[in-house]
Amino acid sequence: MNGERLRIRGLVQGVGFRPTVWRLARALGLSGRVWNDAAGVVVELWGTRAARDAFVRELSRQAPPLARVDAVERCPLAGVSPEGFHIVPSRGGKVATGVPADAATCPDCLREVMDPADRRYRYPFTNCTHCGPRLSIVRAIPYDRANTSMDAFPMCPSCLAEYEDPADRRFHAQPNACPECGPRLWLEAPAGQVVDGVDPLEEAVARLLAGRILAVKGVGGIHLACRADDENAVAELRRRKGRDHKPFALMARDLEQVARYTVLDERAVQALSGRAAPIVVLPASGEPLAPSVAPGQTTLGFMLPYSPLHHLLMAALPVPLVMTSGNRSEQPQCVDNEEARRRLGGVADALLLHDREILTRLDDSVARPMAGRVRLLRRARGYAPEPLTLHPDLAGGPPTLAMGGALKSTFCLLEDGEAVLSQHLGDLEEAETWQEYQRMLDRYRRLYRFTPRRVAVDLHPDYLSTQLGRRLAESLSVPLIEVQHHHAHILACVAEHGRDPREPVLGVALDGLGMGGDGTLWGGEFLLVEGARFLRLVAFDPVPMPGGVQAVREPWRNTFAHLERALGWEKVRRDHPDLELVRWMEEQPLGLMRAMVHQGVNAPPASSAGRLFDAVAAALGLWRARAPYEGAGAMALESLAASATSTQGYPVAFADDRIHWKPMWRALLADLADGVSPSRIAARFHRGLADAVVETASELHAIHRPAAVALGGGVFQNKLLLEAVTEGLGSRGIQVLVPERVPMNDGGLALGQAVAAACADARD
């Protein structure tokens, strides 16, 4: 009998790993012990060589669903074998600091919930070691029941027996519960009175079927739900939520139902039915749903049920539900019962609530199949706070806190080469979101016992996150590192691919707006990025934004500024006096615009791809007078272009390391005058922009010979543009890195900032 010690690294704590080890060792007749320590799981094994080899082989094969084994290190062990095999208490200092991400209901739990003979039949809070709420219910570490909102529910003897039995699927399942002892569900009227004498699920289904709007408390927040095929209900929900034009998310019963309304491929199927269960944005096709679900869009965002509560609701409904976050317009999603009564009372006809407290708001994550992969656009429930493993050379530096941006904000804790990126928090200009950002920063710092030794922020002095980072660095007396916005976008992409960020890459950042290194606004950038350093090689021609932030809200201002700069408004007016666009613009205060543009007063120049999209969209009459949210013009333009066949792109001009749009505007106006369809114009614009990007990047690649081209920035959420660029570069044999697990929009900024700060050290 020989012994050996195995060290197992990866996501192996809080996911049922030790019981798997225990079962496997016993099945193979091995003796020894297993425990958690700061670095993962340690196993001591005694037995024959053949049995130990079989153990290692089987371990990765039989690892529990939520585990991720990164490495197994084996070394010989002296000493005497214990009797049998045991799970022993954790050792070492910083044990079990991680918190797992919330996971969709597993097939075993679902079977129990649907089985009339099971004691958990129709119990909406069923879960096990392989599934259920995690981050959403955690208050403190270590992750055990006393530190979660499940501490309010002492386990009944049956649940406790499961919890204590290593052979049971619910061994150490912290949120374990049953109808005897666990949380309960009820339906209440907007005024707060509970609807008595009914099965709350059955009653909720009946009301949904009748076209009512319900607030439904789920895992990471409260949704507003209604039938997705009932235009009256959906339009009414839109009206009550208030001035929100964004497409609504949908929940379908199963994949078959999703396939009735969209085009589904293998990758999308995997993402939809995965443990994170994100919303997946898919091309709409087949049966129509209510027009107000996604006005003007050619895509639909579907998710599948991810808690027993959702499964039970959906199983009783013949149609998908709208499942949009429970809030009014831009506020964060409600999580608390009292808050829901206060804020959603006027929106929902009834509230389906429960008494399991949500301690961390987790919005539904959003992913989109693009350029061969399903790429995350919003990283929250199911993904956060799972750490990202970075290049090993980044493991040495001091703990770094990165504060992120202003929109779609997240923050990032970087330590020991692992980056913990917070869930999507949202727009910090929204007072409640800003409160929550600060609350979450405190929570994460406590959960990870994290004391930053330096703080990384965006260059923009007005971002609330920058200002807070500055104050934090001062109060902790640690260095503050300012990172240029697009530099951070590119490093986030490089880092998530596990590459050494100090290896030179050509970064192409197509974005809304970010503070540039020269004090102007950037957003159409070709950067040579080498760790903490970057060089701006080429950029879009900067165009003034008349009125500054006003120009984001009123896109026609960008159209005017672009046309004024490219051709001169007087010429446009002379050449095309009868164009609807020209006549519309003539009604606007153009004298004021011209004065701002030419005197440079309140008209900051911006080399922004996002504003270019706005300008072109507005020229076609899409969100011309007012944009409902940032990027609305680009989304509308993409939808429009999707219906046209690919055609010849508009020309651009290159001069002085700038891409100029004069030829494009001239051709676009001629198309408008010729009555060319808007969808064809939109397609020609996409094609021309992609060609210009590919051509520029290929030339720069040939000159600078970087290891790869890395893409970043919110404008790449455009599938048409992203695929045209990746295909164009790929066909020239250039390796392209595209963000996948971390959003290409500002949701990924914090990661890039943290990496820039880490490289600043590694350089010395």
Per CB under 5 A, residues contacting Fe ion are 511, 514, 746
Placement of tokens 């008349």 in the chain: 546
What's the DSSP call for residue 317?
-
Instruction: Using CB under 5 A, pick the residue from 120, 122, 130, 212 that binds Zn ion.
Output: 130
Nearest CA to 458 among 436, 435, 491? 491
Residue 633 interacting entry, from Fe ion, Zn ion, none, C-beta within 5 to 8 Å by type: none
Report the partner that residue 347 touches, choosing among Zn ion, Fe ion, none (CB closer than 5 to 8 A by kind): none
Among 28, 30, 101, 106, indicate the residue that binds Zn ion (CB under 5 A). 106
DSSP 39-66: TEEEEEEEE-HHHHHHHHHHHHHH--TT
**Shortest distance, position 407 Cβ to Fe ion, whole Å:** 8
Q: Does 178 bind Zn ion (CB under 5 A)?
A: yes
Return the exposure string of 422-461: e unless at least 16 CB atoms fall within 10 Å of the residue's CB, then b: bbbbbbbebeebbebbeebbebbeebbebebebbbbbbbe
Q: Output the DSSP codes for 80-96.
A: PPPSSEEE----SSS-S
Q: Which of Zn ion, Fe ion, none binds 415 (CB below 5-8 Å, type-dependent)?
A: none
Site for Zn ion (CB under 5 A): which residue of 15, 109, 141, 609?
Answer: 109
Binding partner selected for residue 156 from Fe ion, Zn ion, none, CB under the kind-specific 5 to 8 Å limit = Zn ion
Task: Quote the CA–CA distance of 681 and 184 in Å, as a whole number.
Answer: 55
- CA 585 to CA 560: how far, in whole Å? 8
Nearer to Zn ion, 109 or 185 (CB): 109
CB of 168 to Zn ion, least distance (A): 12
Residue 746 interaction partner, one of Fe ion, Zn ion, none, beta carbon < 5-8 Å per kind: Fe ion
Answer for the pair 139, 148: CB distance below 8 angstroms, yes or no. yes
Q: Which stretch binds Zn ion (CB under 5 A): 52-60, 122-130, 451-459, 540-548?
A: 122-130
Site string for Zn ion, 658-697 (x = CB under 5 A): ----------------------------------------
Contact 269, 354 (CB under 8 A): no
Alpha helices in 193-245 (DSSP H): 200-209, 231-241
Q: Exactly one of 128, 344, 414, 734 binds Zn ion (CB under 5 A); which one?
A: 128
**Rounded CA separation 244/742 (Å):** 26
Among 66, 131, 234, 314, binds Zn ion (CB under 5 A): 131
Name the residue among 60, 74, 71 with its Cα closest to residue 17. Answer: 60
Which of 511/630 has CB closer to Fe ion?
511
Secondary structure of residue 97 in the 3-state scheme: coil
**Residue 759 backbone dihedrals phi, psi, to 5 degrees:** -70, -30
CA dist 607 and 510 (Å) reads 10
Measuring CA to CA, how many Å separate 310 from each of 290, 314, 497, 641? 21, 6, 34, 36
Q: How far is residue 726's CA from residue 455's CA, in Å, rounded to a whole number?
A: 34
Tokens of 632: 């609305």
Residue 27 contacts which entry, Zn ion, Fe ion, none (Cβ below 5-8 A, type-dependent): none
Pair of tokens at residue 245 = 């034009």
Residues recorded for the chain: 764
Nearest distance in Å: CB 161, Zn ion:
10
Provide the minimum distance between the beta carbon of 394 and Fe ion in the complex, in angstroms, as a whole number: 22
513 bridge partner residues: none
> Considering the complex, what minimum distance in angstroms separates the CB of residue 635 from Fe ion?
16
156 is a site residue for Zn ion (CB under 5 A): yes
Nearest residue (CB) to Fe ion, 397 versus 514: 514
Under the binding rule (CB under 5 A), the answer on residue 219 touching Zn ion is no
Decide whether 307 or 409 has the Cβ nearer to Zn ion: 307
CB 511 to Fe ion: min, Å: 4
Strand partners, 299: 283
Output the smallest distance, CB 137 to Fe ion, in A. Answer: 32
In the complex, minimum distance from the CB of residue 712 to Fe ion, in angstroms, rounded to a whole number? 8
178 binds, among Zn ion, Fe ion, none (CB under 5 to 8 A by kind): Zn ion
Nearer to Zn ion, 178 or 521 (CB): 178
In terms of CB distance, is 81 or 126 closer to Zn ion?
126
Q: Whose CA is closest to 41, among 68, 77, 65, 61?
A: 68
159 binds Zn ion (CB under 5 A): yes
The nearer residue to Zn ion, 130 or 212, going by C-beta atoms, is: 130
> Is-contact 87 18, C-beta < 8 A?
yes
Binding status of residue 181 toward Zn ion by CB under 5 A: yes
Closer to Zn ion by Cβ: residue 156 or 653: 156
Q: Which does 279 bind (CB under 5 to 8 A by kind): Zn ion, Fe ion, none?
A: none
Is position 118 an interface residue for Zn ion (rule: CB under 5 A)? no
Nearer to Zn ion, 306 or 448 (CB): 306
Tell me how many residues contact Zn ion (CB under 5 A). 10
Strands 658-660 and 709-712: unpaired
725 binds, among Fe ion, Zn ion, none (CB under 5 to 8 A by kind): none
**Given the complex with Fe ion, which of 212 and 489 has the nearer CB atom?**
489
Binding-site partner at residue 511 among Fe ion, Zn ion, none, CB < 5 to 8 Å by type: Fe ion
Q: Which residues pair with 77 in a beta bridge?
A: 3
* d(C-alpha 236, C-alpha 690), whole Å: 39
Beta bridge partners of 283: 299
Output the smallest distance, CB 18 to Zn ion, in A: 17
Question: Can you give the binding site for Zn ion, defined by CB under 5 A?
Answer: 106, 109, 128, 130-131, 156, 159, 178, 180-181
